[in-house]
Amino acid sequence: MTGAATGIGERVTEVQRLWKQIYNLPDTIPTDGSQWDHLFADGERFTLGEMEAWVLLSPGHTLCSVTYVIGNAAFVHDTVFMPDSGTARADFPGGDARQLWRSIQRILQLPSETRLTGHDYRPEGRTACWESTVAAQKGNNLHLKSSDEAKFVKFRTERDRSLPMPALILSALQVNLAGGRLPAPEADGRRYLKIALNAFPHAAW
């Protein structure tokens, strides 16, 4: 809407190919990331106005997750939540608990005062928060109390098996994969979202 350039991590192409198969989308749907103006590589640097920023590949929650480090803040999306909410699930197609652990360790190597901005699920209805710090995550994240990768992977895998699939994931992803664009109108002039009814037979909905 603003005409600003758009960008996303370069591994989005892998996610597009993966979900294109799940949705059985037509070959006319591109999977080369061309829905964005730029695909960022791990470690790539760029500017926002006069602010310097760089990209930290953070797969695990998804194949293409990235963290944007801008000034003294890191936008960590779904990788780590507020410390009392823990960490992201890693059971969606392309997700991987071991990769998630390693991505978190990279984030925690940033300076201790770095502000981490991410999601908050407000345990017990507490007031909403929008940022923590590397130091706070190291000291207080309830899913990171152990420094053992194997224990984290076991915990994350078992926990993810108990979580229901998000209600809107199958509809939302079709828009996400197209860079926020709705599907093209069909012959009747209407736009349709596909729902793969039996793609995840063991998922709790």
CATH number of the domain that residue 58 is part of:
3.60.15.10
Domain count, the chain: 1
Continuous segment of H or E residues that includes residue 7: strand 7-9
**Residue 79 located in a structural domain:** yes
Any domain includes 22: no
pLDDT at 12: 97
Which pLDDT value is given to residue 127? 95
96 inside domain: yes
Give domain status of residue 173, yes or no. Answer: no
pLDDT, tens only, 163-201: 998 888 888 999 999 999 999 899 999 999 988 888 887
Q: Which domain holds residue 71?
A: 41-163
pLDDT, one tens digit per residue, over 62-121 is 999 999 999 999 999 889 999 999 999 999 999 999 999 999 999 999 999 999 998 898
46 in a structural domain: yes
* 116 bridge partner residues: 74, 132
Whether 88 and 100 have beta carbons less than 8 Å apart is answered as: yes
pLDDT at site 146: 84
Q: Is the pLDDT of residue 58 over 70?
A: yes
Total residue count of the chain as it appears in this document: 205
* Residue at 123 is within a domain: yes
Give Cα separations from 29 to 121, 136, 192 (angstroms). 34, 43, 14
Among 102, 49, 55, CA closest to 75: 55
Question: Does some domain include residue 157?
Answer: yes
- Model pTM score: 0.91
| pLDDT computed for residue 202 by the predictor | 75
Tell me if 23 is assigned to some domain.
Answer: no
**The pLDDT of residue 28 is above 90:** no
The SS3 of residue 124 is: helix
